[in-house]
Amino acid sequence: MTCAEADPWMLAARTADDLPERVRRHLATCSRCATRFDVLARVEVAAAQFAPPANPTARARLAARIAQTPQQPPPQPEPAPARPRTHDRRIPRWAVGLAAAVLLVLGWAAGRLSSPRPVVQVPNPPRQEEPRPPVAKAPDVPRPEERGLPVAPEPAPAPGLLARTARHASHLATDASPAAQADTLYQIAADVRTDATKKAATGDVEQLPRLLAVHNRILKVGVARQLRRVPEQQRAAATAPIVAGLRQSAEEVTKAAGQLPPVVGDALRPLAAACEETSAALQQGKPATADDGPLTATPLESLVAQTIRLAEAETALSRADEAAQLAAVLSQVIAVLAVAGGRRPDGQVPRRRGQDPGAGRAGDRGAGAEPREGPARGANRLGTRPGGVRHRAGEGDR
């Protein structure tokens, strides 16, 4: 026998004499069960001491009360009277079927009598169409030939400025140091400033607001932020030449604006204000703020915005992503430069077959036109593959 089988017997028995023989043999061999049964026996003895003493008087009173109580059986309910049986009034099944058949026949007859008679529709005879008078054809009017599809939004930047900005952007992609990126962005701002000054001198003020906004964002968002990323030991050396250049540029723009008509000069003075504000912020070590760009960007504005995003990329993965985006923007810029105005991205005008090499050069330069750069100076700045694309795009008109 196991301890689990002996537990119920030990709990039920008060003394060892009340246990079966096999349980007593188990207690003789198991010290744990023997100790537990001994504790249970002592608890039984202790519990018996708490029993109330016998009270013969109370027992006698209880017996007397029981003897005086009448012992009568409970009354039995009377049985309910039986209901008289009635005759069965069930309707036979054949009567139900007959009634259903009669109702079906009556419904069919009522439907036949109340339904409308069918109407026979006779088709109308075909009408003879009256002869139509002949229509005179309008004479063909020759359409003017389309000279080209508009590639860039209006106002479009000068091809020379867009080409130089593209070369600067490709150079920025090859050098990730903040000082070099700040210098490249400063060169882009200088090109935009020069182009805006030339346009103001020729009276072309239509493009000035957008060029001023681009110049402002390049200085305050591009150059200022990159100089703040330069290490503390090299920041002063990298900031000093740019601050000096901005001050000199502000003086030159202010002098040029004073020599122009008041309306044109007032439109050009924000260019000098942007240089002064940026130089002051660089000297004081404070961030410079600029307004957001326009919703519809020109190729120049798109190129500048993507160049600034590439310069702000800090990790290698984000810089690779922004460089891929810059390559896509550069491909669009190359297409614009190859189509708009008949210019190549390097600033040269493609020659037609049989045209004199010197023809078209004198008339191509107008007031405020950008100086052209030869292939030896700027053709390879965008890299081998973009240069080949530019060359093929320019030769498409030959």
Taking only the tens place, the pLDDT of each residue in 268-288 is 888 888 898 888 888 888 877
In degrees and rounded to multiples of 5, residue 375 shows phi and psi of: -65, -30
Same domain, 23 and 165: no
- pLDDT > 70 fraction of the chain, expressed in percent and rounded: 71
Determine, yes or no, domain membership for 55. Answer: no
Instruction: DSSP for 318-371, please give it.
Output: HHHHHHHHHHHHHHHHHHHHHHGGG--TTSPPPPPTT--TTTTHHHH--TTPPP
Same domain, 44 and 176: no
Tokens of 323: 């460089």
Matching residue, tokens 């090109």: 191
Which burial class, exposed, middle or buried, applies to 273 when counting CB atoms under 10 A from its CB (0-12, 13-18, 19+)? middle
The total number of structural domains in the chain stands at 2
Domain that holds residue 190: 159-351+369-397
Q: Is the bond into 345 cis (omega within 30 degrees of 0)?
A: no
Report pLDDT for 340: 63
| Whole-number Å distance between alpha carbons of 370 and 364 | 10
pTM metric for this prediction:
0.48
H/E stretch holding 251 reads helix 232-258
pLDDT tens, residue by residue, 92-124: 777 778 888 888 888 887 777 776 666 666 667
Determine, yes or no, domain membership for 363. Answer: no
Query: Which one is predicted more confidently, 343 or 113?
Result: 113
Report pLDDT for 354: 45
| Whole-number Å distance between alpha carbons of 220 and 278 | 6
Determine, yes or no, domain membership for 148. Answer: no
| Whole-number Å distance between alpha carbons of 357 and 172 | 35
Cβ(155)–Cβ(206) below 8 Å: yes
Determine, yes or no, domain membership for 28. Answer: yes
Which burial class, exposed, middle or buried, applies to 396 when counting CB atoms under 10 A from its CB (0-12, 13-18, 19+)? exposed
Determine, yes or no, domain membership for 26. Answer: yes
Determine, yes or no, domain membership for 80. Answer: no
| Whole-number Å distance between alpha carbons of 226 and 181 | 7
Nearby residues of 7 by Cβ (< 8 Å), 6 or more positions away: 33
Tokens of 175: 């050098």
Determine, yes or no, domain membership for 330. Answer: yes
Tokens of 343: 């210019």
pLDDT tens, residue by residue, 6-47: 888 888 887 888 888 888 888 888 988 888 888 888 888 888
Torsion sign, CA atoms 45, 46, 47, 50: positive
Report pLDDT for 190: 92
H/E stretch holding 62 reads helix 56-68
Same domain, 164 and 17: no
Residue 144 in this model has a pLDDT that exceeds 80: no
| Average pLDDT value over all residues in the chain | 74
Short-list 378, 280, 326, CA closest to 181: 326
Same domain, 342 and 208: yes
Confidence of residue 241 (pLDDT cuts 50, 70, 90): very high
Tokens of 111: 């439907």
Determine, yes or no, domain membership for 86. Answer: no
DSSP 223: I
Among the three residues 33, 48, 63, which one is the final residue of a domain in this structure? 48
| Whole-number Å distance between alpha carbons of 278 and 289 | 9
Same domain, 182 and 329: yes
